[in-house]
Amino acid sequence: MLASGFVLEFLKGPTLALQEFYLLTGRAMRNVTRQPHYTDDIKLQMDSIGVGSIPIVLLTGFFSGAVMALQMGRALQQYGQTGRTGTVVSIILVRELGPVLTALMVAGRNASGIASELGSMKVTEQIDAMRALGTDPIQKLVTPRMIATGVMLPCLTVIDDFVGMVGGWIIGKLLYDLDALQYWSQTWHALVWSDVVQGLLKPFVYSFVISLIGCFYGLRASGGTQGVGRATTQAMVAASVTILILNLFMGLIFVKYSGN
């Protein structure tokens, strides 16, 4: 009896948090079709989330592609297939590493930033003031961030994929003397439409995880500056773990139904 009561008490908090997250998600998505749309806020968030994340995406993409070409080229060299390095780099980047690494970098930068920003507004009672003035905080603060992340994260993933391929080509040229025409030809022809769809659908799904989890923890912040710091850490960890879990299940779905 005591054990069952302990289990119920333990599950009460996570269950309530999950319910509140689903309610926040539903309200944010419903507001997409409702007026006002706060277009200026969406543009501002697109600049902050998208353009502001380009440097870290460039660094991540280049070095991940370079390391991949370094290791795969070495492995393929044992079988005399070093020329296939471009094929391996492009497939792995577009299907898996590009979307996941980009999402993790953006989550580390923006999920925590969103939680910090909204958490500061929460503890200083700015959100309560918005409600008192008749403004819906979800429509004003959450929906623009969700839309901006949904638009910009696939674009950042494309940049990451391309820069990663460039990094792979540079390493292949320097270490394995790969022909540039052969490398880029194999990189292009290795990809099929299912790879492109998978590489763009994944970051689109991850964008909702990043934005909504960041907003959720920010709006739940309490306890002053310590609460804001705690919400920031929780948002980054929860978003990163959720991205990795979703990547596995989405990968299984694509492998099962695409046949590749």
The candidate with the shortest Cα–Cα distance to 196, out of 91, 117, 43, 108, is 91
- Please give the share of the chain, as a percent, with pLDDT higher than 70: 95
pLDDT digits (tens, 9 = 90+) for 230-239: 889 999 999 9
CA atoms within 13 A on the CB side of 207: 26
In this prediction, residue 205 carries a pLDDT of 94
Query: What confidence score (pLDDT) does residue 192 get?
Result: 83
- Which of 59-63, 112-116, 147-151, 221-225 has the lowest average pLDDT? 221-225
- Residue 86 and residue 83: Cα distance in Å, rounded? 7
Provide the pLDDT confidence category of residue 176 given band limits of 50, 70 and 90. confident
When divided into structural domains, the chain yields a total of 1
**pLDDT given for residue 259 in this prediction:** 58
Alpha-carbon distance of 53 to 94, in angstroms, equals: 19
Angle between helices 143-176 and 180-189 (to 10 degrees): 140
pLDDT at 25 > cutoff 80: yes
70-115 per-position pLDDT tens digit: 888 888 777 777 778 888 889 889 988 899 999 999 998 898 889 9
Residue 13 included in any domain: no
- Domain membership flag for residue 12: no
Mean of per-residue pLDDT scores for the chain: 86
Range of the domain at 47: 39-258
Q: What pLDDT is recorded for position 1?
A: 53
For residues 138-160, give the mean pLDDT. 92
At 102, list the tokens. 């980009």
Q: The tokens 């879990």 sit on which residue?
A: 245
> Under a CB-based contact definition with an 8 Å cutoff, are residues 115 and 232 in contact?
yes
Q: Is residue 171 part of a domain?
A: yes
Q: Is residue 1 part of a domain?
A: no
Contacts of 46 (CB under 8 A, 6+ apart): 148, 151, 152
* Within a domain: 72: yes
- Judged by average pLDDT, the poorest of 93-102, 146-155, 222-231, 235-244 is 222-231
Q: What is the average pLDDT across 175-201?
A: 85
35 falls in which pLDDT band (50, 70, 90)?
Answer: confident
Is the pLDDT confidence value at 4 over 90?
no
103/106 Cα distance (integer angstroms)? 5
Residue 31 belongs to some domain of the structure: no
Model confidence at 3, in pLDDT bands (50, 70, 90)?
low
Q: Is residue 62 part of a domain?
A: yes
pLDDT bin (cut points 50, 70, 90) of residue 251 is confident
Instruction: Give me the pLDDT at residue 226, please.
Output: 83
Neighbours of 87 (CB within 10 A): 20
Residue 243 in any domain: the answer is yes
